[in-house]
Chain A
Amino acid sequence: MINTNQMGFGLCGIAVTIAVGALIGWSVLAGNSMLLLVAVIVGMVLLYLCKSRVEEVIEDERVYRISEKASRRTLQVFGLTIAVIGIALVVLSKSGYAELTQAGLALVYSACGLLVLYLIFYGYYSRKYGG
């Protein structure tokens, strides 16, 4: 079995991401949803294989800490952005731009879904850690 280091894993990740991205794009254009599904699953398997061959520690508490902070910031920025844009589109749709209704509602519902999901996970981890 070939062992890869952290750089090898990074390169593998980039290569797989590019390949899967290209395949997804092509399958969407071709209207082939089966290929899309296969590309995502194969990509996940390849990433898992790359990761399992890394001898070095690539994930530790510092990485988890960074991920927590990045996730929190992403949630704040993305959630707020889609909520504001969604509300703006809904308001615009009421003042003559009816074609924006669907897009606006989709974004508003996505923001609500995101908030609900956050609250569910918050409750779960709150109970888990004695909240």
Chain B
Amino acid sequence: MKNRLKVYRAMHDLTQEELAKKLGVSRQTIIAIERGKYDPSLELAFKIARFFKVKIEDIFIYEEDGEQRQ
């Protein structure tokens, strides 16, 4: 799964640490999501989408034939 978290974070002028604090997760989790190493839970994905006031699919792009990392 691809994501545009880094883009949205930059658009809102937030550091990884600030975003992590606002979402109630660790900075490492934000880093892992941005690098595509970790796909967040549905709950966190919704939380991120709501935080940026966009639809979940605007940030997370599901690729059917994509490599399953988890």
Binding site for B on A (CB under 8 A): 6, 56-63, 65
Contacts and interface: CB of A to CB of B under 8 A. Distances in A.
Given A56-B26, A57-B20, A62-B26, 6 more contacts: A58-B26, A59-B26, A60-B29, A61-B29, A61-B44, A62-B25
B66 interface: no
B41 interface: yes
Interface in B2-40: 20-21, 24-29, 32, 38, 40
Contacts of B20: 57
A56 B29 CA distance: 12
Contacts of B29: 60-62
A66 B24 CA distance: 18
B44 A57 contact: no
Contacts of B32: 62
A6 to B, nearest CB: 8
Contacts of A61: 25, 29, 40-41, 43-44
Ordered nearest first, which 3 A-B pairs have the shortest CB separation? A60-B25, A62-B29, A57-B26
Nearest to B27: A56
A64 B59 CA distance: 23
Contacts of A56: 21, 26-27
A110 B21 CA distance: 43
A59 B32 CA distance: 14
